Amino acid sequence: MIYTPTFFFISLANFFNLVSFSAFVLFPLFIGERGGSQLDIGFIMGISTLSSVLCRPWISEMIDRLGRRLSCLIGSVFLMLLPLLYFLLAEESSLPYAPLLLIRVLHGVGFALWLTSAFAFVADIVPNERLSEGVGMFGISGLTGSALGPVMAEWIVKYFGFNVLFPAAAAMSSVALLMQWPIPKAVAAGIPRWRTSKGPSFFQLMKREKSLLSGVLAFLFGFGLAASNNFVSPMAHERRLAMISLYYVAYSGAAVSTRLFGARLADSLGELRIIPYAMLLTGLGLFSLVFAHGNAILLLSGFMAGAGHGLLYPCLNALALRNVPSEIRGKVAGIFTGSIDAGVFIGSVALGLIGELAGFRSLFASAAVALFFGLVIMKWRMSAD
């Protein structure tokens, strides 16, 4: 059985943490208002992802040793406290570069801990034969949170400013923390605390064929995701599009819809058959942003990219985690989520540089090419079989 009270509590916690974290999609505006360039935006936004990538081997090991519940609680505490540190810098008129970098690093560690432990936990509690469905339905909580976060942030920034946004983000993660207390410790323990038998290391698991395939595809997905997360809002702002959040609402709405109506596709047909179509759809959505000079194209772009995301993320996750023993599931989840974050970081910096030198058209075209390259890898993988 998938839809237990425990499943719903962890999903609610994920929803509120993603509302909090995705509110920082508008943080590039904070950077730009204080004199930051597109390259500054790419680096400052991306440094949190770099920190989450670099800490992933140790975080993943901790999740397998401490258990899922405690790891999730620690991650939520990070996500609750970090927005309050941003609040201390809200009144600065110039860009406080060094303090921002430190806070972004810690924010990345907290989000990595939450996301990796939450997905490992969900993989523990859903049946293996329905893993893609369970992961996909759990992901709806994150998608809806990711849709609401930018809407909340845009409204708060417009009427009250960033000095109100940051406490609001902290409040969202405090609710996420409360949502986890009803989860029974016996159900959420996952792996016994401080196991003496570690099993394969994070880096040993990375060398396995399935981990390599899912990791490379996740990296390319993350590269494209960097364009959506970090550069849609400054592009829409520069082109004077009225509703920046329109893209994110369409994106999340399409992703939720594909999961609701196609939740069991990968479980019945196999992840490898769905992934190429999902990558193509996501890439086309990003490429259409090249022509986004009105709200209609912004809406269409978000819908296509979101529909691809809605299929791609759970398929890649299930590809990585299916049939993986529970005692190493935290590390495998860390490889998968860390690969996405590595793609987001490299994408943030590389796309920021492209945007600085060649503009937003080249930026979004480059992001689309990364997804299309995944099709080449999948074709090679299929022909090898």
Task: Please write the tens of the pLDDT for every residue from 297-354.
Answer: 888 898 999 999 888 888 888 888 887 787 788 888 888 888 988 898 888 889 988 9
- Side chain identity, residue 4: T
Two structure tokens written together for 228? 């959506």
> 1 versus 201: which is more confidently predicted?
201
pLDDT for the residue 193: 46
Structural domain boundaries of the chain? 7-191+204-384
DSSP 8-state code for residue 192: P
- pTM over 0.85? The answer is no
Two structure tokens written together for 122? 């969900």
Q: Give the pLDDT band (50/70/90) at residue 196.
A: very low
Task: Assess contact for 267 and 131: CB atoms under 8 A.
Answer: yes
pLDDT for the residue 203: 81
Average pLDDT score over residue span 255-277 = 78
**Of 59-73, 103-117, 257-271, 311-325, the least confident:** 257-271
Average pLDDT score over residue span 185-195 = 48
pLDDT for the residue 195: 47
**Three-class DSSP category at 61:** helix
DSSP 8-state code for residue 94: S
Average pLDDT score over residue span 285-290 = 91
pLDDT for the residue 1: 66
- Side chain identity, residue 8: F
Q: What angle do CA 259, 260, 262 make, to 5 degrees?
A: 60
Two structure tokens written together for 135? 């992961």
> 51 versus 204: which is more confidently predicted?
51
pLDDT for the residue 61: 83
Q: Kindly report the average pLDDT of the chain as a whole number.
A: 84
> 379 versus 113: which is more confidently predicted?
113
Residue 79 has pLDDT above 80, yes or no: yes
Q: What angle do CA 126, 132, 136 make, to 5 degrees?
A: 90
pLDDT for the residue 242: 62
pLDDT for the residue 384: 52
Residues 6+ apart with CB under 8 A from 33: none
Q: Give the pLDDT band (50/70/90) at residue 191.
A: very low
Cα–Cα dist 316/278, whole Å? 10
Which CATH number, 1.20.1440.120, 3.40.50.300, 1.20.1250.20, 3.30.465.10, labels domain 7-191+204-384? 1.20.1250.20
Percentage of the chain exceeding pLDDT 70: 92
Q: Give the pLDDT band (50/70/90) at residue 192.
A: very low
User: Which residue intervals of the chain are DSSP H helices?
Assistant: 5-22, 27-33, 38-54, 56-66, 68-87, 97-125, 131-159, 162-180, 185-188, 202-206, 209-230, 232-238, 245-262, 265-269, 271-287, 295-321, 329-358, 360-384
Residue 213 has pLDDT above 90, yes or no: no
Cα–Cα dist 14/365, whole Å? 31
pLDDT for the residue 383: 58
Average pLDDT score over residue span 256-264 = 76
Cα–Cα dist 25/32, whole Å? 13
Residue 219 has pLDDT above 80, yes or no: yes
Name which of 352, 150, 294, 301 is nearest 233 in CA terms.
150
